[in-house]
Structure 1
Amino acid sequence: MQPLIAAMIKVRQVFYAAFLKSLLRTKSWLQTILKFWISPNVINGQNEDDFGEMAGEQRAQFLEQVKTLFARDTRIQPLLKFSQRMTKELEGSLLDHPMNMLPSYNHLLPTGNERGSYLALDVGGSTFRVALIELSGTGADGGCKILRTKSIKIDSGIRQLQGSLFFDWMAQRIGETLAGQAEGKDMSAAPLSMGLSWSFPIEQTSLRGGRLLGMGKGFMAAQGLLGQDLGNLIQSACSRHSLNVELNAIVNDSSATLLSKAYLDPGTRFGLILGTGVNAAVHLPVHIFSAQKFGIRPTTWHESAKHVIVNTELSMFGGGYLPYTKWDKLLLSTHACPDFQPFEHFASGGYLGEITRLVLVEGVQTSGLLAGVLPQSLEKTYSLETETISRIASDKSLTLKGASDIFSSRHPSSHTPTVADLKALQQIAACITQRAAGLVAAGVYALWALRNDAENIDILDCEQTLVAYNGAVLENYPGFRETCQQQLDNLVGASGGKTGVIKLVYAEESSLIGAAIAVACLEG
């Protein structure tokens, strides 16, 4: 009997030695089997504390691998090389690309002297906002004031409104915002000028119009109206509801951000949006574009336009030279349009959470994170939101109780995450967001270099240029803006320029204020 027992113990020891790493790389069901098979008191002469130490070592090795793979792309020379390649791609798109580096009809920047009252509309994927804005000039206190505003959630029922019904719904909300505004006033007076910030694709044909394209995101408004003029559709709906308003300008959100800050500070030449998606606008001289990029425009426009605000569609760049890791490739393997917006996959809030999830899943399966137990909710793609990891990252306490509560409430599991688990998640997210901040900085720097070349500006003679920004990632993710600014300074310094020559500045309520200023520039 003794030889048999000794043989069984020997088998256990050999089994453990051969499959220790596999144990740490398996899911919880296999761990349970091995735990039953291996005696807790006889594991190659080790106890459970030794086992925990080995698991900790495996976790540390995995986190070091994550750090190495992501950190290599945040160093200055790789970022500088990336920005140089992006500048060349941007230059090529000035000639004939039909979907990016799109010159708008806005060729005037505000002087800061624009005054008047304007109605601003902001149509996004989940919210419709209406505001009455008064511009008083930069010499006055604040320069602009929101007199009244209304924010309306666009739920699934509103998104399903077909054709003109959606624009009638918009007109009704505009009327509610202006309720009482016309009391005691002469209704035969000049209509109130409106500006629109539209977050969906259109083929813009004038400053106040453009052909309606498919909206996506579940919206049915374009059904039966594809190709019709967006400005006319909105104006007709307002007329049907007896609103004394006139739509005079349509801009996208990045252009609105640039305009809103340029009104207050004439050194603004860029607008940057970084939320669920990423985009940028830049003020460039018209001579660097090919004629076909402007399409058919009135001669008067060409005669007066020396510069133009450009919608870069920055999300579409970088496909051939972005620093892909195995997790980035895994994300693309299940993406419906993997080649459409490559830069967005690396930089925007729509994807930072998903990349973090993919890394976390591997850590759970191979290195004992979360005790090898993956919450069922995290098996689903895009289930770990960027807002969640942002809140976890903001917890700097010793116990990380806030982070634990958030993670456990949104991704319940039989295993309660330990402080070590949460610190590992914070480290993973930090690696991914620091890379994103570096790449965003490199993208802004690429646009800045393009602008300098177009204007024949030597880097040593550059005056400070402001980049107006908006969006949840830059506004709310802990340390993101600071890291992005530091990397901008690093890129400028590595090129021989002065630190601080590119400065990120927050543009508050930029979509609304920028839409109003777009109209005011026409009247100024």
Structure 2
Amino acid sequence: MSGNTEEMLEDYRRRMNLPAAELRKVRDVFLEELHTGLERSGNSSLLMLPTMVDILPDGHEHGEFFSINFGGSTLRLAYVVLGKGHKEVDRIEESEQKIPEELRKRHATELFDFLATELIDFADRIDIPISGRLTIGFCFSFPVQQISINSGRLMTWVKGFECEGAVGQDPTRLLDDAFRRQGVLVSIPAMTNDTVATLAAVRYRDGQDAFIAAVMGTGTNASYVEQIKNLPKYLPQYMPRTSDMCVNTEWPGFFSHSLPILNEDQELDAESDHPGQHCFEKLTAGLYLGEIARRILLRFAKVGCLFGGDVPETLLRQGAVDSSQVGRIHSDDTPDLLKTGAFLEQIVGINPEKNTHTLRTQVKAICDLVANRSAQLMAATVVGLLTHLGRVDTSQPLQKNVLAIDGGILINWPNYRVQMTAAIKEICGQEVYDNLHMKIPAGGAAFGAACIAAAANNYMRSAGHGYRPPARSVSSYFPPRRPSQTF
């Protein structure tokens, strides 16, 4: 590597690769924000939303359910038949497709019509006749102020969506209306986000040791199981059925001066749809990792030390590099870095004679820093949740900790999970690390949403067919997230 490149890389390593002491600072600030966010009038960058999901599946649920998992760039659908035996899954059918980019800016009616139509077409493809009323678990992974287990109010769009006519509305009602426009009657006994659904999927299949779920894909978020006595802002007219409730942290908005924020991050934020918001997500999630890498590569190119003084035209275009390309480079373990070479030739437009091993090594080093920073920050916040739950106290016999995980990055980037677990070990030590188990649930959040619908249905059956989850009008119990001041 040239001297300038090596000096720049060392500078970026110092700023992006956090030692254990710095990661503990991030964990500690996250804990402070978490505790403040749990308070009714807390002024926190974490919304800490009660989800009204106070019953998670235990493997005894049964019935026939559809599910819709919508929360990013991909729509995932499932048809699930749970048998009467313990953890018995008689049938599961799945489908996924990209959400058309143009729907991100269209009216909400068009977006929800798309969701309903896709489920109807999916049922037709798997030869499930639509007769009577369909029961659907709805996984809706955007900030929702939950009123009951199956209703709430959309607080804001994130992840590049800006559909008019949805903010302030009940997503369950919007979906029900869309099916009615198609002439199909549905029952939606549960609406939740993908983290709670991921937790439910692991609970159904693998038992009750999972208390935290984290998703890292296009966006990122985490939920965990909290004692209701620690939730002064849960809806007081909602009559809980157990002593616990899932809490949606909404950690995309987590902000701290301890976070390793670069000039490139600040530039990305300034040009984003929501400047000054969703700081943690913009540092870590798939929607942004490719763009962060592009901006760093561009900076290296402009000072003349990466591409021999040339600035590839591709790197001047916003969005020209996506996270999947960063992931391929991050996982490039071939001796000649062939995946990285393919990226440089096919995406960046580097001539084969200039596509040297040295250049590939430099580019991989940059992409590794972008991915590893995300993994380290993910580790710090997960440890924050474990610490809050009292599950890292080595003075007591340590319990088995199951972390339910999902999302394209956690599933498809093996080196990302290696970095994340290594950071957890650095922060907590060997004992806690040895008792931590990551579970990727079969069927993912779509299966979990069906399981939550099944658990809600089972409870309603046992309580009588006239049961409706208690609700009340939304008021000021959930304060607005504190905006980032300097991001």
Interval containing the TM-score (normalised by the shorter chain): 0.7 to 0.9
**Aligned counterpart, 2:412:** 476
**Aligned counterpart, 1:230:** 171
Is 1:521 matched up with 2:447?
no
* Cα pair 2:26 2:256 within 8 Å, conserved: no
Q: 1:165: how far off?
A: 4.8
TM alignment of 1:196-215, pairs within 5 A: 196-212=138-154, 215=157
One of 445, 449, 467 as aligned partner of 2:387: 449
CA distance 1:419–1:237, change in 2 (3 Å): same
Q: Secondary structure at the match of 2:65?
A: strand
Q: Give 2:61's aligned amino acid.
A: E
Identity of aligned pairs, percent?
A: 25
Is 1:400 matched up with 2:337?
yes
Q: 1:106: how far off?
A: 0.1
Q: Cα RMSD between the aligned structures?
A: 2.9
Q: Give 2:92's aligned amino acid.
A: L
CA distance 1:267–1:420, change in 2 (3 Å): same
Q: 1:324: how far off?
A: 2.8
Q: Give 2:278's aligned amino acid.
A: Q
**Aligned counterpart, 2:473:** none
Deviations 1:366-406 (A, max 9, x none): 35211121211212334322211222233333433432222
CA distance in 2: counterparts of 1:422 and 1:165, whole angstroms: 44
**Aligned counterpart, 1:348:** 285
Is 1:357 matched up with 2:280?
no
**Aligned counterpart, 2:117:** 172
One of 347, 361, 374 as aligned partner of 1:436: 374
Bigger relative CO (Cα 8 Å, ≥ 6 apart): 2
CA distance in 1: counterparts of 2:159 and 2:368, whole angstroms: 30
CA distance in 1: counterparts of 2:414 and 2:187, whole angstroms: 41
One of 94, 99, 103 as aligned partner of 1:154: 99
**Aligned counterpart, 2:81:** 134
* Cα pair 1:94 1:101 within 8 Å, conserved: yes
Is 1:297 matched up with 2:237?
yes
* Cα pair 1:393 1:478 within 8 Å, conserved: no
Give TM-score, length-normalised by structure 2: 0.83
Q: Give 1:209's aligned amino acid.
A: S
Q: Secondary structure at the match of 1:432?
A: helix
* Cα pair 1:488 1:502 within 8 Å, conserved: no
CA distance in 2: counterparts of 1:505 and 1:512, whole angstroms: 15
TM alignment of 1:285-324, pairs within 5 A: 285-290=227-232, 293-295=233-235, 297-298=237-238, 300-301=239-240, 304-324=241-261
CA distance in 1: counterparts of 2:368 and 2:343, whole angstroms: 17
Q: Give 1:361's aligned amino acid.
A: L
CA distance 1:218–1:486, change in 2 (3 Å): closer
**Aligned counterpart, 1:508:** 442
Deviations 1:448-477 (A, max 9, x none): 111118xx9775333111111111221222
* Cα pair 2:49 2:146 within 8 Å, conserved: no
Uncovered stretches (5+) of structure 2, i.e. residues with no partner: 460-487
CA distance 1:119–1:333, change in 2 (3 Å): closer
CA distance 1:392–1:161, change in 2 (3 Å): closer
Q: Mean Cα displacement is larger for which, 144-153 or 339-348?
A: 144-153
* Cα pair 2:215 2:405 within 8 Å, conserved: yes
Q: Give 1:174's aligned amino acid.
A: L
* Cα pair 2:136 2:450 within 8 Å, conserved: yes
One of 414, 418, 426 as aligned partner of 1:490: 426
Q: 1:281: how far off?
A: 0.5
One of 43, 68, 82 as aligned partner of 2:14: 68
**Aligned counterpart, 2:462:** none
Structure with the largest fraction of helix: 1
Uncovered stretches (5+) of structure 1, i.e. residues with no partner: 1-54
CA distance in 2: counterparts of 1:273 and 1:320, whole angstroms: 23
Q: Give 1:279's aligned amino acid.
A: N
Q: Secondary structure at the match of 1:507?
A: coil
CA distance in 2: counterparts of 1:387 and 1:416, whole angstroms: 24
CA distance 1:60–1:222, change in 2 (3 Å): closer
* Cα pair 2:49 2:145 within 8 Å, conserved: no
Q: 1:442: how far off?
A: 0.7
Q: 1:296: how far off?
A: 5.2
* Cα pair 1:489 1:499 within 8 Å, conserved: yes
Q: Considering only CA atoms, is the larger Rg found in Structure 1 or Structure 2? A: 1
Q: Give 1:102's aligned amino acid.
A: L
One of 392, 397, 420 as aligned partner of 2:358: 420
CA distance in 1: counterparts of 2:342 and 2:393, whole angstroms: 52
CA distance 1:483–1:267, change in 2 (3 Å): same
